Structure 1
Amino acid sequence: MFPTPIQKASPFVQMAYKILLPVALFLWLLPLIGVAITSVRPASDLAAGNYFGIPSGFAGFENYSAVFNNSPIGYYILNSFKVTIPTVIGAVALSCLTGFALAVYKFKGNLVLFFMFVAGNFIPFQILMVPVRDMTLRAGLYDTTMGLVLFHVAFQTGFCTLFMRNFIKGLPFALIESARVEGVSEWRIFRYIVLPLMRPAIAALSVLIFTFVWNDYFWATVLVQGQHAMPVTAGLYSLNGQWVAAWHLVSAGSIVAALPPVAMFFLMQRHFIAGLTLGATKG
């Protein structure tokens, strides 16, 4: 049912694994390496057609300083934080409550309601572009950070509920039953018994949702037009010139925009891995 661990595989499979793994890792990192090299490449190289060769010089300081001097990227990053942080708080908080209700309480339609949360994850979000845009226009939320926050919270809650419900299902139900016998209210059971046990899952889910929302480009361009609410993923377009694409500046801006989610992952790495692997083994 499960793949054989590589340590127990045949010598030929182990040798192939050791050869193919670095190759696959290099192919996966190749676009990131290309963006990083382009971000320190002089503009003269791009004008001369030297897109993939060795840079003729190092222009990292000039390119990265031009990113902040020639565009309001700092303001775009602030907008991304204004969208991402409330979304993470809202989606995770709602999913903790819905996951607890769907995992602990047995009521008619429980499974159907759970499937409705899950089914939303299989809908291609592109087909929602027109109705969501019209909805935000009618509600007066178009071209605002609040409109982006509300949409992301609504769209991410389905996946978060799936994650939290399955996590809570794996917790020992005897803890909840013993608390009920002692007369503890349902809210206090959630607050003081279940929620502390959910900290690894909350940390892992927060990192995932932060990355999803921060890297969103589609809805940032559909629901926002003005610079006052534009996230950094959509704001990178302003680094291009009117007639010539400044790929060295766009690459430098992309590296800057990618730093917050990367930093959050490394800061939360221990909790992230614990949240994903907790309950993976029995014993």
Structure 2
Amino acid sequence: MFPRPIENTAPATQALYKLALPVALILWLLPLLGVAMTSLKPSSDLAQGNYFGLPSYLAFSNYADVFNNSPIGQYILNSFKVTIPTVIGAVAISCLSGFALAVYRFRMNLVLFFLFVAGNFVPFQILMVPVRDLTVSTGLYNTISGLALFHIAFQSGFCTLFMRNFIKGLPFELIESARVEGVSEFRIFWYIVLPLMRPAIAALSVLVFTFIWNDYFWATVLTTSAETQPVTAGLYSLNGQWIAQWQLVSAGSIIAAMPPVLMFFLMQKHFIAGLTLGATKG
């Protein structure tokens, strides 16, 4: 059912694996290395057509120019204003809904769970027009709160699926014992289930933070101004009207990628624990 460990395969397969792995890694890193190299090139190199060669000198001033000549600081702040409430809202809702779907048995439990799951399979492009019309009619168009509320609603399906399956793997005897002692349902959730969910909450927070921070589609559909646009949508403004300043766009992209990367490394221990918890028994 599962792939065989590479150590148990034929010698020819192991040799092919050792050859293919670094090649695949280089191909995967090549675009990232290209962006990093472009971010350090002076504008004269790009004007002369030096797109893929080494820079004539390292122009670290591009990173300063991004902040001096563009509102990227405002864009990054907007991204935090959208991403942090979304992570808190989506994870909080999914903890409650996942607990209800995993613990309580009622007639429409499975149907309701399937509705949460089905929402993950809806192509988000077909929602563009109705969601935009809804935000316009409610006065939430081109607002940070409107973008955050949409992301909370859209991410709740995946988060509920994640949390419900995680809680299903917890020992149900803990909940039954608490009920026998007369503990209320809310206290069972708050003092028994929620502490056990910390690894899952950490893993889910990292995933949702990355999803929302890197979102470009809805950032361009639901926001239009520098006061509300996240950094993914605002990077395009680094290009001039007549000149493409790709060195600034690349520098801005590197800066914009830093928060999710830093969050992953800070939460790496909890992230891996949340994804692997329950994978083995013994």
When the two structures are superposed, what TM-score results if normalisation uses the length of structure 2?
0.99
Unaligned runs of 5+ in 2: none
Aligned residue in 2 for 1:152: 151
Structure 1 distance, partners of 2:242, 2:217, is 24
Structure 2 distance, partners of 1:217, 1:184, is 46
Aligned residue in 1 for 2:22: 22
For 2:79, the aligned partner's letter is S
Aligned residue in 1 for 2:54: 54
Aligned residue in 2 for 1:227: 226
Structure 2 distance, partners of 1:244, 1:102, is 54
Deviation at 1:249, TM superposition (A): 0.3
Unaligned runs of 5+ in 1: none
Residue pairs, 1:84-233, within 5 angstroms:
84-233=83-232
Structure 2 distance, partners of 1:65, 1:135, is 39
Structure 2 distance, partners of 1:93, 1:40, is 41
For 1:80, the aligned partner's letter is S
For 1:16, the aligned partner's letter is L
Runs of 4+ residues over 6 Å off in structure 1: none
Deviation at 1:8, TM superposition (A): 2.0
Aligned residue in 1 for 2:252: 253
1:66-116 Cα distance to aligned partner (Å, 9 max, x none): 000000101110000000000000000000000000001111011111010
Structure 2 distance, partners of 1:201, 1:8, is 33
Structure 1 distance, partners of 2:99, 2:22, is 42
When the two structures are superposed, what TM-score results if normalisation uses the length of structure 1?
0.98
Aligned residue in 2 for 1:281: 280
Aligned residue in 1 for 2:82: 83
- Determine what percentage of the aligned residue pairs are the same residue: 78
Structure 1 distance, partners of 2:200, 2:24, is 29
1:5 maps onto 2:13 in alignment: no
For 2:37, the aligned partner's letter is I
For 1:82, the aligned partner's letter is K
Structure 2 distance, partners of 1:281, 1:23, is 32
Structure 2 distance, partners of 1:227, 1:168, is 41
Deviation at 1:5, TM superposition (A): 1.4
Deviation at 1:17, TM superposition (A): 1.4
1:190-233 Cα distance to aligned partner (Å, 9 max, x none): 00000000000000000000000000111111000111111111
1:142-181 Cα distance to aligned partner (Å, 9 max, x none): 0100000100000000000000000000001111111111
Deviation at 1:9, TM superposition (A): 2.0
Deviation at 1:19, TM superposition (A): 1.2
For 1:182, the aligned partner's letter is E
For 2:146, the aligned partner's letter is G
For 1:107, the aligned partner's letter is F
